[in-house]
Every structure is written in structure tokens, then in C-alpha cells.
Amino acid sequence: MPYSNAQQITPIMEEVRRIRPRRMIDVGCGLGVYGMLCRVQLDLYDDESFDKKLFRNGERYKRWDTVIDAIEGFEDYLEFIPRWAYDDILIEDVRTALPKLPDAKYDIALALAIIEHLSKQDGIEFVRQLQRISRSVIVSVPKNVMPQEVAGNDFETHRSQWSQEDFLALGFNKFIPHSGVWIAVHDPDCGVHEDLPVVPAEIAGGQPVAKVCVT
């Protein structure tokens, strides 16, 4: 669906605020819920002169401080996306859109409730592309992906199941607790805890991962 459950919004937004990106991309933005929340939290909430960023008498006095881009595959969602929240919205399949983006363009990439719509092989390549274009990545996916097909929108079909071990093997080093959703974070700046176990080499794709940061 082009939106996610309410219970994961707060922990994801807290993580975005912790990272404080200057440039970010919302991949598979759906109806643009997170773009709108990120715009408010990153550009308005802590700014005493927030009013200068909003329209007054038809004129905007100050531009946004944060670049927030988006990719969405299903063009029919475009009319529902809050355009003011995004700098640029690309309507394209993420599998063809991401390889065109330059390395390290963003500070954070959000991929929320999208990876289950890709095959496992496509999902792995999807994550690698996110890690290539962005320093940090947040992925969310239901722990139990149920069968789903939506008439007229093939992008909404569920195609894969994901586990914590899958994300460990892809280099994710932080997991935000949630009862029904994996919220996995790949963040090279994340602090590690010395009492956390080593991730076995067979899970980590042949190379043991020394520590994982879990909050």
C-alpha cells in the first residue's frame, strides 16, 4: 500500500531527526506521508523563523534548507503526493531509476514498505543501490508479509519475505524495535555496543560482522 502503519512513524522519524540529513530521498514514496513529515521536522519544527519558509502574500521568503527528493513507480499516486514537501519527484520503477543516480548523493535514503514488492534478488540489488547513493539507509518491511495483489497496479504485489538475518547480511547495523515490522538501519556513524554478539560469517555473506548496533 502507498502508506504504512502508524506505529512505525514515530521511531522512523526519530531516527531521521537523529541523522539530520541535508539531502535525502524517499524511495517508493507512495502518497508522500514521510516526505511531508520530514519536511516539517527537518525544515520547520526547530526553526524559530519557520514562517519565512512558508508562503506569505504569495511570496516565499526563504528556501528550504533540506533537499528531499522522491521516486514513485505508480503515476496515479502523483496527484495525492504533497508536492510542496519534495524538491523533485521522479515517476519511474526504482529498479531502473536508482542505477542512474550518482554515488553518495544523499545523506539518507528511506525505503519504507517497498522492498517486499520486489523479488528477493531484485531486493538485494535494490539495497546495494541505496547504499551506493546514500550514506545512511532506513528500510522497513513487515515481519510477516502477507499475499497481496492490487488490480491495476502491479507495483503493489507482494513478492518477497525478509528477516533480520537478511539485513545483517546486507550490512545493516541497527534495528529499531517494532512488534510487526523490521526497521533496519544502515548507518556507518552508528555507535556500537561491545556486548553485542558477532554475526556469523554464514549470515554475513562469508565475512563475519564484528558488532551490530541495536536500539
C-alpha cell at 210: 564484528
Distance, in Å, from the CA atom of 111 to the CA atom of 137, rounded to the nearest integer, reads 8
Q: Does 35 fall in a domain?
A: yes
Most confident of 5-19, 48-62, 126-140, 147-161: 126-140
Q: What are the tens digits of pLDDT across the range 77-100?
A: 889 999 999 999 999 999 999 999
Place of cell 546495494: 128
Q: Does 213 fall in a domain?
A: no
Segment among 58-62, 109-113, 172-176 with least mean pLDDT:
58-62
Distance, in Å, from the CA atom of 109 to the CA atom of 116, rounded to the nearest integer, reads 17
Q: Does 152 fall in a domain?
A: yes
Most confident of 57-61, 82-86, 195-199: 82-86
Contact predicate 25/134, CB 8 Å: yes
Contact predicate 112/139, CB 8 Å: yes
Rounded to a whole number of angstroms, the distance between the first and last alpha carbons of the chain is 27
* Residue 175 pLDDT exceeds 70: yes
H or E segment to which residue 112 belongs: strand 106-112
Question: Comparing C-alpha atoms, which of 13, 8, 23, 18 is closest to residue 133?
Answer: 23
Tell me, what CATH number does 159's domain have? 3.40.50.150
Q: Does 214 fall in a domain?
A: no
C-alpha cell at 133: 547513493
Q: Does 85 fall in a domain?
A: yes
Q: Does 50 fall in a domain?
A: yes
The pLDDT of 209-213, averaged and rounded, is: 51
Q: Does 206 fall in a domain?
A: no
- Name the pTM for this structure: 0.84
- What single string gives the DSSP state of each residue in 163-175? -HHHHHHTT--EE
Q: Does 195 fall in a domain?
A: no
Distance, in Å, from the CA atom of 30 to the CA atom of 48, rounded to the nearest integer, reads 30
Whole domain around residue 15: which residue ranges? Answer: 6-190
* Residue 130 pLDDT exceeds 50: yes
Distance, in Å, from the CA atom of 42 to the CA atom of 92, rounded to the nearest integer, reads 26
> How many domains does the chain fold into?
1
How many CB atoms neighbour CB 202 within 10 A?
10
The pLDDT of 124-151, averaged and rounded, is: 92
